[in-house]
Structure 1
Amino acid sequence: MTGLRIIRRLLAAATLAAAMPAHAECSRDIVVPVSSTGVSVIVGNGVFSGIYPDLFRSLGPRAGCHFVFAGVPRARQELMFETGKADLLLPATRTPARDVHGIFVPMVGHRAVLISLQSARPAIINAQDLLDRRDLRMAVVRGYDYGEAYQALVRELAKQGRLFVEVEPTAIARLLFVGAVDVTIMGPTILAGAINREARVQGMLDRLRLEPIPELPWQQTGVYVSRHSLTPDDRAILLELLERAAKSNVVMEGFQRYHRPEILSESVRPR
């Protein structure tokens, strides 16, 4: 990171923190289970880093809130949020099922795409085309949800016996690398982050083939604030904190620091 970028980052964080209301204060620790998700959340040896943990650490003291992170598989992260055992769900694409349990604050625009390694294979043009290519094996992360069209595609591939389900994206990167599966669907930034942390697949990033399909359009991704676990006052404090962060564009700037333009152009844009 250049000196100028560091200065800009510090100034942006300082400006955002100064805008937070000094009187706001959470009544208890805020429980945030997380799993490794690209550079949005990085979990390693009990250390939590990445765009969102860094954001909460910078804003929490000013808001009078302390965030307690815990590393769990993505499917358990979702279950904890649904059952009121987690205060925040992040990062998350907005879906009707999640709206039942939380209030969504969008941070950036995002879309999942079909990802494979470069080859002479004819392009996949839509979901039906993928279903018809019965020689292609797909892997997904358990607990990821990009909407009903995604879920329908996953269910049909499972019926066809062509679906592999893993608990985290690094496992999928390894499967793609050795040719055990042919394609996956997720945000390219998620897979890119996993590749960068996995020594066994180095060089794979330069070989990625990204194919948007119309059934998976641009959506919004961000943070869900629980409707079940928080008091109304704590919920209001967190929603205000997140709205201010969203307006500052700090999350988009985080993606820009970590990723190549060609990865971002297919998967992340300002909200």
Structure 2
Amino acid sequence: MTLVLFCLACASASAAATEPCPPARAGISDLGFTAYQENGQFGGSNVDLLRELQRRTGCPIELIWFPHGRLYAQFYDGQLELTGASLRTPERDRYGIWLPYTYTQFELVLRNDSAGKFHSLAEFVEHSKARLNVPRGISYSPATLVQMQRLQQLGRLEFVNDYQAVFRKIVAGRAEGTLASPTIHLRYQRQHQLLGQMRASFFAESPRTIVGLYISKQVPPPIRRRYVDSLRSIISDGSVQRYNAHYLGEEISRQMFLGGVQDILDAMPREP
């Protein structure tokens, strides 16, 4: 396995050295430890991955920050060659090719005084009066969307610009919780001194799923293949797990990748 990865890296480096690669614009947005801005700098596991992808492909990648709701409009309009962390959807598939690289799972995150033993979002809708805030532009499972619609009809769900706004409203007492993965909510709990004041639990409507990035169909196939080969090597050599462990700790990263990465590699397109 080590020899195979070494050969892949050598092939990638050789291609990068001999074939010109046009610059790419990658859209990123506020997603906690996945991507964030701090003191004028970008950080997060997805940012680390994109920088490593630049190194292994030899393709310059410019990171551009957008509100999450605007990012995909820019991608659909041909203004971006790459997206940051993305769940796969039919609409996004019309404009780009999805390249998987990690896992995610939404949790129901509530202040302690509103938390309960909710095994599903349906139970939360029926047995709580707590209000949720969520950002615009986030993709959810169909089963989750059904319960979110119920919450909206009850006046218990509000859409805001980003997760920063979500947690500001929780601190201000204008909402009691949100839906977010650990990668997202742990950063904002730490930032707003909410650790120990909130509880997070997985819910039945949102199983663990694979996250990827999109590469525009406008990118020529030979360049797309270069990205796929480099991303495959980043996944196979454990780099993605290390990026997550750096921000979340070893235990959470281990749980995220329980069972390994073969499902991710199997989902990688063969002819990008």
Residue deviations 1:49-102 (CA, integer Å, cap 9, x gap): 222223333342442200011111001112222333221122112333333332
How far 1:19 sits from its partner (Å)? Answer: 6.3
Residue deviations 1:14-36 (CA, integer Å, cap 9, x gap): 99865634213453210111112
SS at match of 1:27: coil
Does residue 49 (structure 1) correspond to residue 43 (structure 2)? The answer is yes
- Length, aligned pairs only: 253
Gaps in structure 2 of 5+ consecutive residues: 1-5, 262-272
Aligned to 1:20: 12
Does residue 247 (structure 1) correspond to residue 241 (structure 2)? The answer is no
Whether the aligned pair in 2 keeps the contact of 1:32 and 1:89 (CA below 8 Å) is: yes
How far 1:46 sits from its partner (Å)? Answer: 4.2
How far 1:154 sits from its partner (Å)? Answer: 2.6
Looking at structure 1, the residues matched to 248 and 118 of structure 2 have their Cα atoms a distance apart, in angstroms, of 25
Looking at structure 1, the residues matched to 207 and 254 of structure 2 have their Cα atoms a distance apart, in angstroms, of 14
Q: Which amino acid aligns with 2:101?
A: M
The CA RMSD over aligned residues, in Å, is: 2.6
Whether the aligned pair in 2 keeps the contact of 1:188 and 1:267 (CA below 8 Å) is: no
Percent of aligned positions that are identical = 25
Aligned to 1:183: 177
Looking at structure 1, the residues matched to 85 and 172 of structure 2 have their Cα atoms a distance apart, in angstroms, of 28
User: In structure 2, do the counterparts of structure 1 residues 171 and 29 end up closer, same or farther at CA, with 3 Å as the change threshold?
Assistant: same
Does residue 36 (structure 1) correspond to residue 26 (structure 2)? The answer is no
Aligned to 1:138: 132
Looking at structure 1, the residues matched to 251 and 132 of structure 2 have their Cα atoms a distance apart, in angstroms, of 23
Q: Which residue of 65, 84, 96 corresponds with 2:90? A: 96
Does residue 209 (structure 1) correspond to residue 215 (structure 2)? The answer is no
Looking at structure 2, the residues matched to 205 and 266 of structure 1 have their Cα atoms a distance apart, in angstroms, of 20
Q: Which amino acid aligns with 1:69?
A: L
Looking at structure 2, the residues matched to 234 and 178 of structure 1 have their Cα atoms a distance apart, in angstroms, of 47
